[in-house]
A and B are shown apart, each in its own frame.
Chain A
Amino acid sequence: MTDESPVIELKNLTKVYQNGVEFRTLDNANLRIKKGEFVAIVGPSGSGKSTLMHLIGLLDTPSSGTLLIDGKDVTKMSDKERSGMRNRILGFVFQYHHLLPDFTALENVMMPLLIAGKSREKAKDVAEKLLKEVGLEGRMEHRPGELSGGQNQRVAIARALSCSPAIVLGDEPTGNLDTKTGDMIYELLRRLNKEYNQTFIVVTHNEDLASKADIIIRLVDGKITVQ
């Protein structure tokens, strides 16, 4: 069992912004997350939640400290290695759906697979299956402009899952949706997490929802406390 070796490990991870004065957005964060865990991140606005997500998602680089993903130090990797990991190991769902506007729902979900070098046929198969799973079988040929916010967010989830990533990151994925749709999306995420044993890290303001997570991480002024 590899259960004990963490899929994500933060050692004194720090992000500092220098705008005349030094600003510690993330301050000496230490954290271990195991495979298959559902992690909720909560905290007031400006506390550093997005910064933490961007660091784990390899979209940003820390000022100091170490970040291990799958046991590998990702802070020293080249752009090619980091983009490869973003593609294969990580799936990102943002607050606003962030789909490519010129492509249909199906093409958006296929894109990470094409980036990974999969054939069109294979990508299409996987994307169709995932879109069915999130309940959008009738909307595959629609472009983001022709879909509602909740539908787009479901497309974004399907896209985040398309390369079967080990880690799925959601930065307030329901922040922009009404409560009912938001709850539906969370149900979906929780179900997928159970089904595929992927690690989920989700930023949320919904305490009710956070309470159902395996681990709750609280962020205040860049400092982490784990519950």
Chain B
Amino acid sequence: MYELKIALRQVFSSKKQTLFAILAVALAVSVITVMMAMISGFQDEVVTSSIENNPHIVINPQDEEEESIHLYRYKSALISEKEGVIAVSPKYLGQAALEYRDNAEGVYLQGVDPMAEESVMRVSEDVVEGDLMTLVHTRYGILLGDQLAENLEVNVGDRVDVVFPGSQTTSFKVVGLIHTGTSADEVTAYARFDSVQDFFNEPGVASTIEVRVADPYQADAIAGSIERETGLDAVSWSEANVEIFSFLEAQAAFVKIFYFLIYGVAGFGIANTLITIVAQRTREIGILKAMGTSQKSIMFVFLFQSMILGAAGLVLGTILGYIATVALQSYEIEIPPETYFGLQTLPLEVEPLNFVYAAFFAFIVNILSGIYPARKAAKLDPVKAIER
């Protein structure tokens, strides 16, 4: 492999070109690995938070006209028997107004069975004051979003009035505050299932049944089977967030164009370096040909040079990319609140496979950009090359 020997010798003796070519590749690879870390971190976070902050399956009445689910106890029991289902929570949902002294706010009132709701939604994780379980023995207790409480200027222990046209205004005692970090904190209120049913004069019906499953990625399949068995409308978390997931897909496609452009720029950098090297080495190419080096071997000499530059560049690039990713992770970039599911910082994910991809494509780009200069070198007329 004298071709490799010559390639190595020539690469190491053209220090300046070598340095710049390696830096071009390294920069491209590190930028791409950081971008990949951002994208996959962001996507993971969006998926995780939509799994955590939404019921895995929401069951609604079949028809548009029908507003509520009858026989919800029986249907809930049926659903909780299903394989993969770990918890079921029937709820009564309604909009009403909350009044406290001179303040009034519209609320989204959720009537829940505290135990069931806890096992489906893990509400307690967001309870910042008081306790969801107080509802078990407090018929007219209510938990408010912390923002809602602030707007009403109420504290835990105060009593608020729930008002709805046609309903009897009912007084509830504030037993806790909830903070999710999303805009829901301005409108959410939890009370007991039976109290809310009574308030809306709808005893014996539920507006929805929420389901938690063991494996969120089975939610689609389980939702389908629930629909078939109960005749109700079941929507999985991924179906409910379809816009977000199609946005993520569009984003992924868009980002690929960016990667392509970055690699393109790096590729031209390599090609340019090699063209310069070939021009500087013209006489030596002529000498090698006079000694009996074939066109094919001359091509290899320069392809090897591009591979050496590329390999050095991608090793340096992945190291720099890794360092930058870890540094950015600990820096915690703030993003505007309430953009997506209460993501507060931009999450970066160190995914080893991403580094492999970035390095692999960098290497391919390198070989491709080496082909033109290497062919040019191979086709040089030896007489002209030597007489230079």
A residues apposed to B, CB below 8 Å: 54, 57, 59-60, 79-80, 83-88, 90, 92, 94, 98-103, 111-112, 114-116, 159, 163
Q: Which residues in A have their C-beta under 8 angstroms from that of B2?
A: 111, 114-115
Contact A86 B386 (CB under 8 A): no
Cα(A100)–Cα(B288), bound, Å = 8
Q: Are A86 and B290 in contact (CB under 8 A)?
A: yes
In the A-B complex, the 9 residue pairs with the closest CB atoms: A87-B292, A114-B2, A83-B294, A86-B292, A59-B382, A102-B9, A102-B13, A112-B291, A92-B290
Residues of B within 8 A of A (CB): 2, 5-6, 9-10, 13, 283-284, 286-297, 382-383, 386
The answer on a CB contact under 8 Å between B292 and A115 is yes
- Given A94-B386, A101-B284, A102-B13: A57 in contact with B290 (beta carbons within 8 A): yes
Contacts of A115 in B (CB 8 A): 2, 288, 291-293, 297
Chain B at the A interface: mostly helix, strand, loop or mixed?
helix
Given A59-B382, A98-B287, do A79 and B292 touch, yes or no (CB 8 Å)? no
How many angstroms between the C-alpha atoms of A83 and B288 in the bound complex?
Answer: 10
Residues of chain B lying within 8 A (CB to CB) of residue A163: 292
Q: Beyond A85-B292, A86-B292, A115-B291: 14 further Cβ-contacts under 8 Å?
A: A59-B383, A59-B386, A83-B292, A83-B295, A87-B293, A99-B287, A100-B287, A102-B10, A102-B13, A111-B288, A114-B5, A115-B292, A115-B297, A159-B291
| A87-B291 contact in complex given A102-B9, A103-B9, C-beta closer than 8 Å | yes
Residue of A nearest to B293 (CB): A115
Cβ–Cβ < 8 Å partners of A114 in chain B: 2, 5
Residues of B within 8 A of A80 (CB): 294, 296
Jot down 11 A-B pairs with beta carbons below 8 A, ordered by A: A54-B383, A59-B386, A79-B294, A79-B296, A83-B292, A83-B295, A88-B292, A98-B283, A98-B290, A100-B288, A101-B284
Given contacts A59-B382, A79-B294, contact A86 B289 (CB under 8 A): yes
Chain B residues lying within 8 Å of A159, measured Cβ to Cβ, are 291
The complex places the Cα of A32 from the Cα of B44 at a distance, in Å, of 80
A59 CB contact (under 8 Å) in B284, B289, B296, B297: B289
Name the residue on B nearest A83 (C-beta): B294
Residues of A within 8 A of B13 (CB): 102
How far is A115 from B292 in the complex, measured between Cα atoms in Å?
A: 7
Whole-angstrom CA separation of A62 from B382 in the bound complex: 14
* Chain B residues within an 8 Å CB radius of A101: 284
Complex alpha-carbon distance, A103 and B13, angstroms: 10
Give A163's nearest chain B residue, CB to CB: B292
Chain B residue numbers with a CB within 8 Å of A54 are 383
Shortest distance from the beta carbon of A148 to any chain B beta carbon, whole Å: 19
Interchain CA distance A98-B295 in the complex, whole Å = 19
